[in-house]
Amino acid sequence: MLAKNKGIVSSRDKLLDLVWGYDYAIDSRSVDIHILRLRKKLGDCNGMLIKTVFGVGYKLDN
């Protein structure tokens, strides 16, 4: 989702809806955990690839 929309901020709710669907019983904070795991796998320790836009969501950056 982030790779397809590179540079565009996606909210937690939008990520939940597009990736898991609203029917899926998951908390929006679970998105944060998945982002944390992605950052670890990518070696993105300083948030250089996946940016957090406080109060809005996440985006994939250059």
Q: What's the predicted TM-score (pTM) here?
A: 0.78
- In this prediction, residue 44 carries a pLDDT of 83
Q: Which residue has the tokens 């957090």?
A: 52
**C-alpha to C-alpha distance for 4 and 24, rounded to whole angstroms:** 22
**Order of strands, edge to edge, in the sheet holding 10-11?**
10-11, 57-60, 50-53
Domains present along the chain, CATH in parentheses: 10-60 (1.10.10.10)
User: Which tokens belong to 35?
Assistant: 């982002």
Mean pLDDT by 10 residues, the chain (62 residues): 90 84 70 90 84 92 76
* Pairing mode of beta strands 50-53, 57-60: antiparallel
